[in-house]
């Protein structure tokens, strides 16, 4: 599985401006709303519901907010960078600067878990995370994601 199968370049945001998890999650959902036809608020609520169960801040400046949405036909993802960082209750207590958002169909349990595992493997690479933080814009961030995903 390649993340570029479900991540479109239009869903990459290079400068998230939100300063709270709620604001950042809503911001990340806007381009996904346009591509799926689902309301931004509905997508954001799905992520916020998941955050209430346990934080998706995984540490090393990364958060992987995710959830299942009825009506989706396949995986949909977004990616964003916050230059300021946002407290996402990560185990290492560091703010998250990179956000990979994933939505799966309600019936896509195995697919959802497989995608989360792939995302986690990609982002374990410290040099890769640093390159995303240093990228000049969303286009460069997407190209870095494509290149890492091809390895």
Report pLDDT digits (tens) over 79-110.
999 999 999 999 999 999 999 999 999 886 68
Give the contacts of 81 (CB within 8 A, at least 6 positions apart): 13, 14, 15, 16, 97, 98, 99, 132, 133, 135, 141
Q: For residue 112, what pLDDT is reported?
A: 83
Q: For residue 108, what pLDDT is reported?
A: 63
CA distance 45 to 13: 19
Report, as an integer, the average pLDDT of 113-137: 95
Q: For residue 35, what pLDDT is reported?
A: 86
Chain segment 1-50, per-residue pLDDT in tens: 899 999 999 999 999 999 999 999 999 999 999 888 889 999 999 999 99
Q: For residue 111, what pLDDT is reported?
A: 84
> Which value, in Å, is the radius of gyration of the alpha carbons in the chain?
14
Judge contact between 32 and 11, C-beta under 8 A.
yes
Catalytic annotation, residues: 66
Say whether 132 sits in a helix, a strand or coil: helix
Q: Print the domain residue range for 22.
A: 3-150
Beta bridge partners of residue 67, listed in sequence order: 103
Question: What is the number of domains present in the chain?
Answer: 1
CATH code of the domain covering residue 64: 3.40.930.10
Q: How many CB atoms lie within 10 A of CB 27?
A: 21
How far CA 87 is from CA of 17, 22, 56, 117, in Å, comes to 13, 11, 11, 23
Q: For residue 106, what pLDDT is reported?
A: 86
């Amino acid at each position: 599985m390649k993340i570029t199968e479900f991540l479109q370049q239009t869903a990459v945001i290079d400068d998230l401006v939100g300063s709270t998890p709620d604001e950042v999650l809503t911001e990340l959902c806007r381009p996904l709303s346009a591509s799926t036809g689902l309301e931004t608020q509905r997508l954001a609520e799905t992520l916020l519901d998941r955050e209430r169960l346990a934080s998706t801040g995984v540490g090393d400046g990364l958060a992987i907010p995710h959830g299942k949405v009825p009506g989706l036909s396949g995986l949909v993802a977004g990616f964003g960078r916050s230059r300021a960082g946002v407290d996402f209750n990560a185990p290492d207590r560091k703010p998250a600067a990179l956000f990979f958002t994933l939505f799966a169909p309600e019936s896509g349990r195995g697919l959802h878990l497989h995608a989360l595992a792939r995302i986690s493997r990609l982002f374990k690479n410290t040099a890769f995370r640093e390159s995303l933080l240093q990228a000049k814009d969303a286009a460069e961030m997407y190209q870095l994601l494509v290149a890492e995903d091809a390895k």
